[in-house]
Structure 1
Amino acid sequence: MSSMYFTEEHNAFRQSFKDFLQKEVFPNVDKWEKQGFVDKEIWKKFGEMGYFGLNYPEVYGGLNLDLFYTTIFLEELQKVNSGGFAAAMWAHVYLAMTHLEKEGSELIKEKYLIPSITGEKVGCLCITEPFGGSDVAGMRTTAVKKGDSYILNGSKTFITNGVYSDYLVVAAKTNNELGYKGMSIFVVDRDTKGISSTNLEKLGWKASDTAEIAFDNVIVPSENLLGEEGKGFPYIMQHFALERIVMGINAHARAEFALEYAIQYMSERTAFGKTIDKFQALRHRIADMSSEVEMCKEFNYSVIYRLNKGEYVVKEATMSKLVSTKIADEVIYQCLQLLGGYGYMEEYPMARLFRDSRLGPIGGGTSEILREIIAKIIIDKKEYKPITQ
């Protein structure tokens, strides 16, 4: 592991986390993949070990560690070979919980963030809508102020942890006339009257519960507003850099896992009197793929390094997700090919990896949207700036 970014403490954490996953997660992955959701017990075990609080403040039960611990957390989750399980974990920690910590009042942090770090409560982030996709500004869900409450109406879709989470972080229009400037964010208890969830069947990410969620005259107390009314859109944009680099790291990690498995398989598979890792055409294919993955990994580490220092890396994080997810798809496709017929069999890991990886260029902003954002930055000289406090 690169000593430029990882200390002995980081490496020790990686090994202990690997051991934890081997003991607590690996034996259950196939069951979770079949049942379509993750058992509640594992959330509490993650919480007990402090894994949900790696980069959160100590005052709320976190460990306040640097983002390279988060990087290790994400990388090792991908090697469990269940994109759905990994997504359930990181969507809770780096999507829902991020808004609680950055925009939540002390009351909200006490009620939701602290039990989220301990694993007693699980959250989901509700932004995407059935008719909106990546068009966040075109949101139709509304939250109309009425006395000391807001009345929430609308729907969200493709929500990870959307069926079994304990609370929902929901974006809605509080002023339709202002467009995206009239958007706000709320935290809503799952058992609030008027919320209904429909489980969605997916190509991959089978172990995560993914839902379409409807809000029918849901009463949300005013104190459940996150941050200021009308600042929802910049809050969302502010955190997209983290979400995109998270998905970039996920991509290089699963591609690396696929390569490691393919190389091991090639060292054991014999054809025409020798192992197939001795055939030049296949060796050179591995060389090309390994070079691409290593380039992604080093770039992603440099982005994490800058993000950890507080820099606003929206351009680089967007590039990370765009390129890393594309390369991961291509690498895993080629690795499946290297396994031949066995790559197509469910008892081998490559088939699941292939399905799970395909969501990379779609979720968290499609590659098409990311290209336009990058084009605006590079060609139109558009500047994305952090929210000024």
Structure 2
Amino acid sequence: MLRYATRLARPVLRNTVSSSRSFSTTRLAASQVTSLHTFTEEEEMLRDAVRRFANDVVGPRVREMDENEMMDPVVIKGLFEQGLMGIETSAELGGSDSSFTSAIIAIEELAKVDPSVSVMCDVHNTLVNTVFRTYGSKEQQEKYLPQLSENKLGSFCLSEPASGSDAFALQARAVKDGDHWVLNGSKMWITNSYEAEVFLVFANIDPSKGYRGITCFIVERDMGIKIAKKEQKLGIRASSTCTLDFDDVRVPAENVLGGEGKGYKIAIEILNEGRIGIAAQMVGLAQGAFDKSVPYTFQRKQFGKAIGEFQGMQFQQAEAAIEIEAARLLTYNAARRKEEGNSFAKEAAMAKYYSSVVAQKVAGSAIEWAGGVGFTRETGIEKFWRDSKIGAIYEGTSNIQLQTIAKFIQKEYS
């Protein structure tokens, strides 16, 4: 299993005062200047390892998984064996003991080959594992984090048929019965749910308190969760998205995570982090589509030269490269801010919004660059376009991201 420990290098400030001026200047030592593309040796090693895994293990299975709308068990097993399902979890609990940026790097690299595999890794790491690490009791962490690092897939269950963007209009209910809670209701649009064995389920224990009654429960599959429907989707088809039913599911009282009535706080904070993961997925997707299509434009000749040599094509590709890089930098910036303990909600919303826009634009252009070949399923280019649409929808729609950003602007300027 991979083990990565990362440390961020911080610039060292040196104050110098010029005798001929009445003000001081602050300079960065040249050796300490860093960029958002500056990574630790461990992060670079992780990137290389994930890239090899994605190309060697995931790549040959992408089309079959998409056609079958099912994740290959070999891929899931490989994610665990490579240490990619407990990236930030401590080594003592079976994880890779690495940084949040490392998780973002892994998500991006996987998405270059298959966004379906990327989102499986993303939700498991940035949502499920993070909730356990941040809010779980010592006993809960010691019980579940080793399982989630080694062999059990996790699922985050918040959305319902009547609560999407209004995420806290929950209808699912939990009633105390002795040393158990009895859970009833349903969840919809739940990622990883077909294969998962550990579910974080949000339900209201006191509707009279509104969102303050929302509580997070750790529910294991064998407690009685029913997979009611597996959605057939436009894109990310290998990633399971299911409706779940809870009919008098009995959950031990010790499986309340974070405390009674704390579910709202948990979800709000964790979804901000998860949005950086989705941004990374969209950046990787855009880069994957670009990487598949551009080489073809220098192989395909028309009117006596490669179509990639025509200025109209060159300008489109140059603009796409700029937009991918801008989205990547927004994403890396949000990740580093989160990692360093700075506020990052606005930056996460910006990264998630812009990356989803770029993913759709670049993936659509990539099809056009390859012409008729790009429109066929054989090349896999069209799949990136189908997969890109979800970026504007899950973990907060584009309108929700714009609303979040606007609130920060209003607070700053009003």
Q: CA RMSD in A?
A: 1.9
- Structure of greater Rg: 2
1:279 partnered with 2:279: no
TM-score for the superposition, normalised by structure 1: 0.93
Match of 2:77 in 1: 44
Equivalences for 1:47-62 in 2 at 5 Å? 47-62=80-95
Match of 1:94 in 2: 126
Q: Which deviates more from structure 2 when the two are superposed, residues 95-104 or residues 213-222?
A: 95-104
- Which of 33, 58, 61 aligns to 1:28? It is 61
Give the Å deviation of 1:3. Answer: 7.6
Cα distance change, pair 333–22 in 1 and its aligned pair in 2 (3 A)? closer
**What letter is aligned with 2:281?**
N
Match of 2:216 in 1: 185
**C-alpha offsets along residues 200-255 of structure 1, whole Å, 9 cap, x if unaligned?**
11111111121011111111110110011101001111111211111111112211
**What letter is aligned with 2:128?**
A
- Is 2:157–2:190's contact at 8 Å kept on the other side of the alignment? yes
Local SS of the residue matching 2:223: coil
Equivalences for 1:133-282 in 2 at 5 Å? 133-193=164-224, 195-282=226-313
* Unaligned stretches of 5+ residues in structure 1: 383-389
- Which of 116, 126, 130 aligns to 2:157? It is 126
Cα distance change, pair 113–162 in 1 and its aligned pair in 2 (3 A)? same
Q: Which deviates more from structure 2 when the two are superposed, residues 244-253 or residues 13-22?
A: 13-22
CA distance in 1, matches of 2:294, 2:360: 17
Match of 1:110 in 2: 142
Give the Å deviation of 1:110. Answer: 2.7
Give the Å deviation of 1:319. Answer: 1.0
Match of 1:377 in 2: 408
TM-score for the superposition, normalised by structure 2: 0.87
Q: Which deviates more from structure 2 when the two are superposed, residues 216-225 or residues 85-94?
A: 85-94
Local SS of the residue matching 1:51: coil
Give the Å deviation of 1:6. Answer: 1.4
Match of 2:22 in 1: none
CA distance in 2, matches of 1:283, 1:146: 66
Structure 1 residue ranges (4+ consecutive) displaced by more than 6 angstroms after TM superposition: none
Match of 2:365 in 1: 334
Match of 1:9 in 2: 42
Match of 1:325 in 2: 356
CA distance in 1, matches of 2:69, 2:203: 28
Local SS of the residue matching 1:268: coil
Q: Which deviates more from structure 2 when the two are superposed, residues 247-256 or residues 25-34?
A: 25-34
Give the Å deviation of 1:380. Answer: 4.4
CA distance in 2, matches of 1:68, 1:380: 28
CA distance in 1, matches of 2:344, 2:162: 29
Give the Å deviation of 1:22. Answer: 2.7
* Unaligned stretches of 5+ residues in structure 2: 1-33
**C-alpha offsets along residues 267-325 of structure 1, whole Å, 9 cap, x if unaligned?**
11111110011111111111111111111111221221111112230111011111110
**What letter is aligned with 1:8?**
E
CA distance in 2, matches of 1:372, 1:323: 14
CA distance in 1, matches of 2:381, 2:254: 47
